[in-house]
Amino acid sequence: MAKDDIWILGSHMTKFGKHPNEDVIDLAAEATMGALADGGVQMKDIGVLGVGNLMNASAGIGQQLQKQVGQTGIPVYNVSNACATGATALRVAIMAVKAGEVDMGMAVGVEKLAGAGLLGQGPGRPASDTWEPSGRFGALGSTEGRIGTGIMPGVFAQVGMEYGHKYGGTSFELFARISEKNHAHSTLNPLAAYQKRFTLDEIMNDVMIAYPNTRPMCSGNCDGAAAMIVVSDAKLKTLSKGQQKRAVKISASVLTSDPYEEACQVLPDVNTLTRNAATQAYEQAGIGPEDLDLVELHDCFATAELVHYDNLMLCEQGGAVDFFESGAPFRDGSLPVNVSGGLQSKGHPIAATGVANIHEVATHLRGEAGPRQIKGAKVGLAHVIGLGSACGVHILEKAA
């Protein structure tokens, strides 16, 4: 241990899915109390609270959560950072502990998204074959669907197709097989929103959302929350042997945004900021991708998973297709990816996802993942990306 090491002490996520009888604060409170119980501490021990929510909250969701779990006067940070919201909330807690302001902090991500429809569609004029400069839109006409798209399924469909054009080897069937893998993994995860195996034919013949992504190849909008408690090395040493044994080291915590590029900004560049985040994380942790035992990456769509094999340097540049074909990212492969079922099966309650991905990796490093456990897992990476853009990468290590 190093004196500036940061450790995950407690972690919990709700079952993702539809929770019609619980509001956003109820879900956040369930995750919070679960993380406190898991870490063997109380709310009075927490020195800082970061709470992430994107779609549901009025002002002060963290303060609203405190009214339900305990108001202790600590600083509360309300975080919103697209799909990287949860990972950003965790970084708030990590940075406060690293700075020495507190010795224990908590992050919570929560969202209610069941039935939300296509995210990113936003307001716009009704679709029609012709446009006339009249009505409340005045002289403004939406280009959505006419000149490209800003809706998430379309954006990530383009991202995957762009990779295929650049490096070759991709096909509709290949992307569907990635989804087939993740849905098969989900059958072993009791917290996943969907725990159903799909055949390749079922995936390919389902409703087409944005070629080459059919409905099962898209992340599921659902409700859910996840919470995590982090602690300084000095504080951990004062806790019980049982707490120390289950603690998981955060070897790297990185958040990036888009660098300046003198290029077209029509299609978001999800690649550069992810590769930059991964590079920084490996350097911070003092390891390379070859040292990883499992990865939870942001497979908001099947096409996204493929490109992130490359962006996270799990393969050589341009080698994502060969990496998948080798069998490496399957649960019994050399580098399992999304053994939780990924966002396509586990679900994607936006602000909760960043914490939930880290929770999944930590669960394996603790040896507590049950039938989906990756045997002997010691090092894992969790990744999220939100357009706008923000990318979070965390590398975790099993306690010695």
Which CATH architecture best describes the domain 6-117+222-250?
3-Layer(aba) Sandwich (3.40)
Domains 6-117+222-250 and 152-217+252-398 share a fold: yes
pLDDT tens for the chain, 400 residues long, are 466 899 999 999 999 999 999 999 999 999 999 999 999 999 999 999 999 999 876 679 999 999 999 999 999 999 999 999 999 999 999 999 999 999 999 999 999 998 776 554 444 444 455 656 566 555 566 667 666 777 888 889 999 999 999 999 999 999 999 999 999 999 999 999 999 999 999 999 999 999 999 999 999 899 999 999 999 999 999 999 999 999 999 999 999 999 887 765 666 789 999 999 999 999 999 999 999 999 999 999 999 999 999 999 999 999 999 999 999 999 999 999 999 999 999 999 999 999 999 999 999 999 999 999 999 999 999 999 998 899 999 999 998 7
In angstroms, the CA 258 to CA 236 distance is: 36
What one-letter code names the amino acid at 73?
G
Q: How many residues would you count in the chain?
A: 400
DSSP string, 126-137: PP-S---S-GGG
Give the domain 152-217+252-398 fold: Peroxisomal Thiolase; Chain A, domain 1 (3.40.47)
Return the sign of the alpha-carbon dihedral for residues 86, 87, 88, 90: positive
DSSP string, 273-309: HHHHHHHHHHHHHT--GGG-SEEE---SBHHHHHHHH
Domain borders along the chain are: 6-117+222-250, 152-217+252-398
The CA–CA distances, whole Å, from 197 to 179, 194, 211, 335, 353 equal 10, 9, 22, 21, 22
In angstroms, the CA 11 to CA 150 distance is: 34
